[in-house]
Amino acid sequence: MIPLDEVSIYTLLRMAFVWQLLSFGVYLVGLLAIAAFFFDNFKSVVSIIKAILEPYFQPQLPQTLVEKFGKWAVITGSTDGIGREYAKELAKQGINVVLISRTKEKLIAVAEEIENEYKVKTKWIVADFAKGREVYAHIERELSGIPVGILVNNVGKMYDYPDELSNISEDTIWDMININVAAVTIMTRMLIPELKKQKRGAIVNLSSGSELQPMPNMAVYVATKRYVRCFSQAIERELAEHNITVQIVTPLFVVTKMNQYSDTVMKGGFLRPDVKSYTRFAVFTLGKSAETTGYWQHGLQYFFMKLSPEWLRIRIAHVMTRHFRREYLKNHGKKV
């Protein structure tokens, strides 16, 4: 028979071992979670640094955007805001641009400005993506024969101001689905054969940092932007073997007419850059990172946002969009 004090020593040792094992398991899970979080948040910075250093170690690789992706880019929604600046930044790097928007006069003005300033070729196509299926045959005809190397799916639509779904017109909802979801999908599908033919290319899809969580009062907009993420990440894998880069860009607030509903946003500031500064940085990341907020301050903001749980972010978003709604209604003399 084993003496009582020996049994308790064995039991204690066994318990201590099990405790150690459990603690180790908890540490390991914690460590993996932290590593995954940091990888997720810093992979963009790491790939940008890698791309900056690459020319020093592999000078034989293509360096400029023209060498990497070719001479022509197509930018949707390119007469204003981020799209217009993308067109100018790409032109600055010697890339010919095809501008697509609704308004002919604005297209002509932007095309002339770009040709005069950067001595590249331009072409413009009038198209209203809100019309859905009917616009694409015309765009495809206009693009035929142009060796497009970069597609920037920029066009996007938000409500006039944040509001509850039941207050948003059916027309606005269909427009948003046609512009934010259909345009990025069909334009991408249309240009993939051309990019594959050239065995290189880049597709840049403008999502939004707001898609990090569902947002009350911006429900449809944010859901369409989540679609852009999901779509981009899937085709990024499909196209990688064809040497075609798919980049997802998720800006937070940028001072453009899309945010005209809020004086607070339009005032600009550290986290609300003007559109030129934002786009210069976003274009700098092209070919360097598959996913980016497009602006380093937005990267920091995104990092801290991600630290809090989704349920909390949804509640904070609700407070913020309610504030914007009130601000808009008050400024327009409407009943809050």
Ligand X SMILES: NC(=O)c1ccc[n+]([C@@H]2O[C@H](COP(=O)([O-])OP(=O)(O)OC[C@H]3O[C@@H](n4cnc5c(N)ncnc54)[C@H](OP(=O)(O)O)[C@@H]3O)[C@@H](O)[C@H]2O)c1
Catalytic residues: 221
Closest CB 93 distance from ligand X, rounded Å: 20
* CA proximity to 248, closest of 291, 289, 282, 208: 291
Closest CB 155 distance from ligand X, rounded Å: 5
Strand order in the sheet with 244-249: 122-126, 96-101, 72-76, 148-153, 201-206, 244-249, 291-292
**Which one, 155 or 235, has the nearer CB to ligand X?**
155
Residue 213 phi/psi, 5-degree rounding, is -150, 155
**Which one, 65 or 182, has the nearer CB to ligand X?**
182
**Which one, 71 or 276, has the nearer CB to ligand X?**
276
Q: Which positions ≥6 away from 298 have C-beta within 8 Å?
A: 209, 250, 251, 252, 271, 273
Closest CB 278 distance from ligand X, rounded Å: 8
**Which one, 83 or 287, has the nearer CB to ligand X?**
83
Closest CB 226 distance from ligand X, rounded Å: 12
Give residue 251's identity as a one-letter amino acid code: P
Give me the helices (H) in the chain, please.
4-57, 65-69, 81-92, 104-118, 136-143, 170-176, 183-198, 219-240, 263-266, 275-284, 296-307, 310-331
CA distance 296 to 302: 10
Q: 3-class SS at 122? A: strand
Counting Cβ atoms within 10 Å, is residue 26 exposed (0-12), middle (13-18) or buried (19+)? Answer: exposed
**Which one, 235 or 254, has the nearer CB to ligand X?**
254
Closest CB 152 distance from ligand X, rounded Å: 10
**Which one, 123 or 242, has the nearer CB to ligand X?**
123
Closest CB 127 distance from ligand X, rounded Å: 6
Q: For helices 219-240 and 183-198, give the axis angle rounded to 10 degrees.
A: 20
Q: How far is CA 124 from the centre of its chain?
A: 24
**Site residues (CB under 6 A) for ligand X?**
77-83, 101-103, 106, 127-130, 154-157, 179, 206, 208, 251, 253-254, 256-259
- Reading the block at residue 10, the tokens are 């064995």
